[in-house]
Amino acid sequence: MRVSGAVVVIAVLDGGSGADLARRFTAAGAAGMLIADQHVGIAEDLAAELDRPGCPVVGVSGDIRRPSDVAALVDTAEKHLGPIDLFCVAGPKGERIVSLADLPDHLDLERLAELVALIGEAIGELVPPQRRPAGSTATAA
C-alpha cells in the first residue's frame, strides 16, 4: 500500500479513534486527508492540528453507516483534495484500510455503491455485533 502522495479519507466510527492513523499517514507523506467523525468537532479539531503545507487536512462530521454521508465525504474529499486513493475506517476493534486503486478517478453512482459495500464490510470487521445499530446490514467478512 502506497501512502506517500496519496489522498486519504479516514472515517471514525463510534468507539474508534482516527488520531493515531491520521498521524501515521501524515508522517508517511500523504498528500491530503479528510477525517470524518460522528461527533461534531472531533474531526475538525484533529484536522486543524494536522493541517500543513503539502498535506492539507479537512475535518467533517459524518456517519459512514449512511450512504448519503459517504457520498458527501467523497464529494468533499474530491473537491478539496482530489481523487481518493485510500478509504480507512477506524472502529472500536481497530482499523481497516480500503485501497481505491481499482476505482476510477471520479466515483459515479455505480462505483459509489461499490465503495459503500466495501465500507460496509470494513464496518462489519471493526464493530462488535452487539454495538451495531438495529437494522444494520454490516456483517463480518
d(CA 5, CA 123): 26
pLDDT (0 to 100) of residue 140: 38
Phi, psi of 33 (to 5 degrees): -140, 145
| pTM of the model as a whole | 0.79
At 94 the pLDDT is 87
Render pLDDT for 10-52 as a digit per residue (tens, 0 to 9): 999 888 889 999 999 999 999 999 999 999 999 999 999 999 9
Cβ density class 99-137: b for 16+ within 10 Å, e for less: ebeebeeebeeeebeebbebbbbbbbbbbeeeebeeeee
Check whether 5 has a pLDDT greater than 60.
Answer: yes
Say what the pLDDT of residue 117 is: 75
What CATH topology corresponds to 7-126? Answer: Rossmann fold (3.40.50)
Q: What H or E segment, with its residue span, contains residue 57?
A: strand 57-61
Task: Give the model confidence (pLDDT) of 83-128 as tens digits.
Answer: 888 989 998 888 888 887 755 555 565 666 677 777 777 777 777 6
